[in-house]
Amino acid sequence: MRAIASRPSRQARTVCPPSRQSVRRLRTLPARWPVCVSGTADPVAGSVGWSSTRPRYPTRRTAPLFEILTVCTGNICRSPLAEHLLRARLAPYSPLVASAGTRGLASAPMTDEAVRLAVDLGVPAEVAATHRSRFLLDAMLSQPDLILTMTRDHRREVAELAPARLRSTFTIREFARIASTMSDDELQTAAADGGMDAAARVRAMGLGVAARRGLTMPPTSPDQDDVIDPYGRSWQTYQLSASQLAPAIGHVVRAVSLAVAPAG
């Protein structure tokens, strides 16, 4: 396996100031997301199609090879759950995975039900408890190599803030639906356009998936590309939301892993 070049240190990659539009939407920029620690068992993985083998969280800070951003509405249910699960499954590749919400809440923890799902799926309770929601700003959208939203409405809002990122932005179930039709060779061929840099390879792989949008069979119903919002609803709705999200996470992990760890 060839070595993949990492991105420069975070100190060298400062985030540009928010636009006037962003300042009007949010008074202050949120704090950095926490670094995860050790993993735990997965007692109910089978109920939502999740692997029973739980990866461990990274235990030291390293320069991220690539970045992924997940987006929902309030950043207290779906997107932080996706953030934690992606960070865990992709831990061998030292990613930077973050999340944000399009409206609603600032500096709020995950809901109790979302924490319960996270713990059931192997996220340490103390890690889930550290989450604090943050608003999505246009300044957050230039860095991520892959942007995964929970619904088509969230994808539209990302496109309005950063039109240039549309081809790197998918609903997470849309990405899973398209990537699942691509072979390992096809995903790696798309990634190869990014050369040897891991972040560039993830971006190139995403562009390859985006190129299939008009070629892949659409879902029977458009809302099959969405993850249902469980906020304020029953525990059964939370479980339904997780059952939609978890398989999609698996397809993202497969595609990203193939992109950053090419054979040869």
Is the alpha carbon torsion for 36, 144, 223, 72 positive or negative? Answer: positive
Q: How far apart are CA 117 and CA 128, in angstroms?
A: 10
Enumerate domains of the chain plus CATH numbers.
66-215+223-260 (3.40.50.2300)
Q: What is the pTM of this model?
A: 0.79
Burial of 70 (0-12, 13-18, 19+ CB in 10 A): buried
Residue partners of 218: CB distance under 8 A and separation at least 6: none
- Over residues 142-190, the pLDDT tens digits come to 999 999 999 999 999 999 999 999 999 999 999 999 999 999 999 999 9
pLDDT of residue 63: 75
Tell me how far apart the 2 most distant CA atoms of the chain are, in Å: 49
CA 31 to chain CA mean position, Å: 18
Q: From start to end of the chain, where are the E strands? A: 67-72, 96-101, 146-149, 169-171
Structure tokens at 14: 């400062």
pLDDT of residue 261: 86
Q: From start to end of 74-226, where are the E strands? A: 96-101, 146-149, 169-171
Task: Calculate what percentage of the chain has a pLDDT beyond 70.
Answer: 75
User: Over the range 83-107, which residues count as b (16 or more CB within 10 Å of their CB) and which as e?
Assistant: bbbbbbbbbebbbbbbbbbbeebee
Amino acid at 65: L
Amino acid at 47: S
What DSSP element (H or E) covers 173?
helix 172-179
- Over residues 80-97, the pLDDT tens digits come to 999 999 999 999 999 999
Candidate from 45-59, 143-157, 182-196, 239-253 with smallest mean pLDDT: 45-59
Q: How far apart are CA 190 and CA 29, in angstroms?
A: 35
pLDDT of 37 strictly over 50: no
Q: How far apart are CA 199 and CA 95, in angstroms?
A: 9
pLDDT of 12 strictly over 70: no
pLDDT of residue 262: 65
Burial of 139 (0-12, 13-18, 19+ CB in 10 A): middle
